[in-house]
Amino acid sequence: MRIGMTLNYSCGFRESVAALGDYEKAGLDIVFVPEAYSFDAISQLGFVAARTERLEIASGILQIYTRTPTLTAMTAAGLDYVSDGRFTLGIGASGPQVVEGFHGQPYSAPLARTREIVEICRSAWRREEVVHEGTHYRIPLPPEQGTGLGKPLKLINRPVRERIPIALAAIGPKNVALAAEIAEGWMPMFFHPEKADEVWGPALAEGSARRDAALGTLDVMVSAPLAIGEDIDDLIDLARPQLALYIGGMGARGRNFYNDLARRYGYESQAAAVQDLYLSGRKDEAAAAVPADLLRATALIGPASHVTEQLDAFRAAGVTTLRVNPVAPDPARRLSDVEALKVMAS
């Protein structure tokens, strides 16, 4: 099982990157840089690539609506070049709140757009002339939509790899099936190992049945807060605000994919309560209302024996990469927790 880490995009980025050399030595395999309505992930990933040697880097995630497919391909090839072949392209649909609320783009047809983007990226990385006649993207632009002067082009540079790994962020059944079909990796949100097969098993089986064997085994990339030690139960509460944000605030009532996931896990009434509180502005109460057993099931927080049991549960559920968020109060403890987890996962 690979051990990865997600960098904080809201503050302390330079400090986090400065510490990555120590995490590399501790055995960290991959680092993810998110992109929400924050600084862009691309400039920060380039910075990480320049400050590391072995560590793999990944976008976690770029949403699909604000970059053209060919710009996404160019960007991925560029990051793979400056990192000497260490980049994974993590993409996803995000949600209407970010796409429409922050970027002013219509949130439409995420499944079809994702499939077309993946096709176009892989064509560009093979240095083929990019010609695509899709429902949502047409390259070159036909005369009736432009000047008629466009012609097929191929990427000028020769990419380090013609098959850069792609990981899809997905939690809905159709999106998960798509990830299992066309991507090298899948990034679900707050993964509950004991309920994962019930919630996602059919979708994964459906997509896997159409999967090209050349893609290899699907890399299941799961995020979890991390802290190892005795008498640290209070650290589990550090995960409450983020879960409350996603379950309660990432979308409108009736259009929140993360709230739907909590309900599919069996937390119907709790998910409704968290959303009601969050949307009414009572964020602290919403965080307090996040079910404790959901927090514990999706975290790696507790004594070493408990964390080992959780690792076994994640492994049994098919997880191959853990994206941890170390939450211990001091930097040295966070580093030692990652080092200990790497040993446990070996």
The predicted model gives 320-324 an average pLDDT of 98
Give CA–CA dist 126/135, Å, rounded: 22
Tens digits of residue pLDDT in 104-114: 999 999 999 99
309 neighbors 344 (Cβ within 8 angstroms): no
Give CA–CA dist 151/141, Å, rounded: 8
Give CA–CA dist 81/85, Å, rounded: 6
The predicted model gives 104-128 an average pLDDT of 97
pTM above 0.85, yes or no: yes
Give CA–CA dist 197/257, Å, rounded: 18
Tens digits of residue pLDDT in 165-195: 999 999 999 999 999 999 999 999 999 999 9
Give the pair of three-digit tokens for residue 311: 């690792």
40 neighbors 60 (Cβ within 8 angstroms): no
41 neighbors 76 (Cβ within 8 angstroms): no
For residue 141, give the DSSP letter: P
φ, ψ at 185 (rounded to 5°): -135, 160
pLDDT of residue 215: 97
Burial of 306: CB neighbours in 10 Å, binned 0-12, 13-18, 19+: middle
Q: Is the pLDDT of residue 286 over 80?
A: yes
Going by pLDDT thresholds of 50, 70 and 90, the confidence category of residue 320 is very high
Average pLDDT, the chain: 95
Give CA–CA dist 302/136, Å, rounded: 47
For residue 335, give the DSSP letter: H
Give the pair of three-digit tokens for residue 165: 């790994």
Distance of alpha carbon 91 from its chain centroid, rounded?
Answer: 7
Which residues are CB-contacts of 10 (< 8 A; sequence separation ≥ 6)? Answer: 38
Residue type, 224: A
289 neighbors 277 (Cβ within 8 angstroms): yes
Give CA–CA dist 90/165, Å, rounded: 8
The CATH H-level superfamily of 2-230+299-345 is Luciferase-like domain (3.20.20.30)
Give CA–CA dist 16/11, Å, rounded: 9
The predicted model gives 56-75 an average pLDDT of 97
* pLDDT > 90 in the chain, percent: 91
Burial of 76: CB neighbours in 10 Å, binned 0-12, 13-18, 19+: buried
Q: What are the C-alpha distances in Å from 130 to residues 16, 121, 127, 141, 151?
A: 38, 9, 8, 11, 9
Give CA–CA dist 248/258, Å, rounded: 8
Q: Is the pLDDT of residue 13 over 90?
A: no
* pLDDT > 70 in the chain, percent: 99
The predicted model gives 318-322 an average pLDDT of 98
